[in-house]
């Protein structure tokens, strides 16, 4: 069994990926500092895969710790690097922490991989690199726009680091997956999103409002140039997204070093905030309290991805619907409360 290191493996996307890797016959090893995740995710993973999972608690920026981990595990064949801070607003207030953590950890990782002869790395990037797109859907060839936040910039810089390092050194194969908006939860309700404090993202805010933890949802603006005036995003079920990582690892097998490429990972379809609200009301069979508020600074009007490249080259395609994702997110929320 191939051993894959999953940094941030206790997080939202990481935990779902650990499950899909196990199902596909890989042996995942988690490293997480639990700064924005919880041990309960490990128990949730283990309930689904019905076996224990190896976990190292520590900081991916700590080169000594990371090197010791690679040495202890011996035959790691690939890394999926999720570990990162992800709150856009917080990144504006604490840019140094974001650069240190998100950019620093990638540099440590590439160095430690090299020292231990590990070639393959999948990196968590984001559609945020496209900013406000000139044309929709965005393809991997669409222009990269100046980042709206230090968080967004860390994703751009990390992609550049990967590209530069791989240009200079033939010992790596790397894929950056540009995720659109990951939502949902595992259909078993054993793992899902666990936001700390008041959620910034739409779906946890919706489910917490429905569960009575929040007074009401504020829709950030309804005067955008979109069919119903609210922003449009490409919402992708986290289980579909997790499966894309398995496909990326399999894709490395057909590549020679040096190799670097980027792929959009979305559904290819845009949905407005109001459509999300209406679909949520349908699957949860209840009315959601919401009001229309001001636009949120830094929000793009609409973005959704062309996913042909992932479809053709990774043989990956999203299979689950917005309804599936919202139903699973709601079932997860009901289990939490
Ligand atoms: C943002 C980031 C993205 C990052 C993701 C993960 C940008 C442009 N996007 O995505 O890179 O990967 O967070 O944290 O930096 N909304 C409301 N009310 C709410 C919350 C959200 O109306 O209470 C709306 C937003 O205006 C947006 C949509 O819901 O149109 C989705 O918002 P959100 O879930 O925060 O994700 P993004 O901003 O798209």
**Contact indicator for 263, 252 with CB cutoff of 8 Å:** no
Measured between alpha carbons, how far is 70 from 3 in angstroms, rounded to an integer? 11
For 47, the domain range is: 3-183+235-266
In whole angstroms, what is the distance from residue 285 CA to residue 26 CA? 39
Closest CA to 55 of 64, 44, 63: 44
Would you place residue 170 in the very low, low, confident or very high pLDDT band (cuts 50, 70, 90)?
Answer: confident
Q: What is the pLDDT of residues 111-141, one digit of tens each?
A: 999 999 999 999 999 999 999 999 999 999 9
**Is 299 among the domain residues?**
no
* Ligand 1 center–CA 181 separation, angstroms: 8
What is the pairing mode between strands 54-57 and 27-32? parallel
Q: Does the CB atom of residue 85 touch ligand 1 within 6 A? A: no
**77 domain residue, yes or no:** yes
| Ligand 1 lined by 86 (C-beta under 6 Å) | yes
273 lines ligand 1 (CB under 6 A): yes
Using the predicted structure, report yes or no on whether residue 337 has a pLDDT greater than 80. Answer: no
297 lies in some domain: no
pLDDT tens-digit profile of 285-332?
Answer: 999 999 999 999 989 999 999 999 999 999 999 999 999 999 999 999
Q: What is the CATH number of the domain that holds 97?
A: 3.40.50.720
Residue recorded with tokens 């229309």: 292
Which tokens hold the place of 131? 């900013």
Q: How far apart, in whole angstroms, are the C-alpha atoms of residue 93 and residue 97?
A: 9
For residue 120, what are the β-bridge partners? 78, 173
Q: What is the DSSP string of 238-265?
A: HHHHHHHHHHHHHHHTT-PSSEEEEEEE
In a domain, 197, yes or no: no
pLDDT value for 169: 84
Domain assignment present for residue 25? The answer is yes
Whether residue 101 is contained in a domain is answered as yes
Reply yes or no: is the peptide bond before residue 239 cis, omega within 30 of 0: no
Residue nearest to atom 3 of ligand 1 (CA): 128
3-state secondary structure 135-157: CCCECCCCCCCCCCCHHHHHHHH
Q: How many CB atoms are closer than 10 A to CB 278? A: 13
Would you say residue 276 lies in a domain? no
What are the b/e assignments for 117-148, b being 16+ CB within 10 Å? ebbbbbbbbbbbbbbebeebbbebebeebebb
Residue 49 within any structural domain of the chain: yes
CA atoms of 163 and 242, how far apart (whole Å): 23
Residues annotated as catalytic (active site), given as ranges: 151
Instruction: Count how many domains the chain has.
Output: 1
- To test the pocket of ligand 1, the residue of 128, 132, 207, 218 to mutate (highest count of ligand atoms within 8 Å of its CB) is 128
pLDDT tens digit sequence for 27-57: 999 999 999 999 999 999 999 999 999 999 9
- Average pLDDT rounded to a whole number, residues 251-277: 97
Q: Please tell me whether residue 50 adopts helix, strand or coil conformation.
A: coil
pLDDT band at residue 174 under the 50/70/90 scheme: very high
Cβ atoms of 240 and 320 closer than 8 Å: yes
């Amino acid at each position: 069994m191939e051993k894959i290191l999953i940094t941030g493996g206790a997080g939202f996307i990481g935990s779902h990926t650990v499950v899909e890797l196990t199902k596909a016959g890989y042996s995942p090893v988690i490293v997480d500092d639990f700064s924005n995740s919880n041990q309960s995710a490990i128990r949730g993973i283990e309930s689904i895969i019905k076996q224990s999972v190896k976990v190292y608690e520590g900081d991916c920026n700590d080169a000594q710790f990371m090197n010791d981990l690679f040495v202890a595990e011996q035959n790691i064949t690939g890394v999926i690097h999720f570990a990162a801070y992800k709150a856009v607003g917080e990144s504006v207030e604490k840019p140094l922490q974001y650069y240190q953590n998100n950019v620093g950890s990638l540099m440590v990782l590439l160095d430690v991989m090299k020292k231990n002869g590990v070639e393959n790395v999948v990196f968590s990037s984001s559609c945020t690199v496209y900013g406000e797109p000139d044309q929709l859907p965005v393809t991997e060839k669409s222009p990269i726009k100046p980042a709206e936040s230090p968080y967004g910039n860390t994703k751009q810089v990390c992609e550049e680091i990967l590209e530069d390092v791989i240009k200079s050194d033939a010992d790596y194969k790397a894929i950056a997956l540009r995720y659109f908006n990951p939502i949902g939860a595992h259909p078993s309700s054993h793992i899902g999103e666990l936001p700390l404090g008041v959620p910034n993202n739409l779906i946890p805010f919706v489910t917490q409002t429905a569960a009575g933890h929040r007074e009401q949802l504020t829709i950030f603006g309804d005067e955008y140039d979109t069919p119903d005036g609210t922003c449009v995003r490409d919402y992708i079920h986290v289980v579909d997204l997790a499966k894309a990582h398995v496909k990326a690892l399999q894709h490395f097998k057909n590549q020679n070093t040096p190799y670097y490429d980027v792929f959009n990972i979305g559904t290819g379809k845009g949905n407005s905030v109001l459509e999300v609200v209406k679909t949520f009301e349908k699957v949860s069979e209840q009315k959601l309290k919401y009001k229309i508020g001001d636009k949120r600074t830094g929000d793009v009007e609409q973005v959704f991805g062309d996913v042909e490249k992932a479809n053709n080259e990774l043989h990956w395609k999203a299979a689950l619907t917005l309804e599936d994702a919202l139903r699973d997110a709601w079932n997860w929320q009901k289990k939490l409360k």
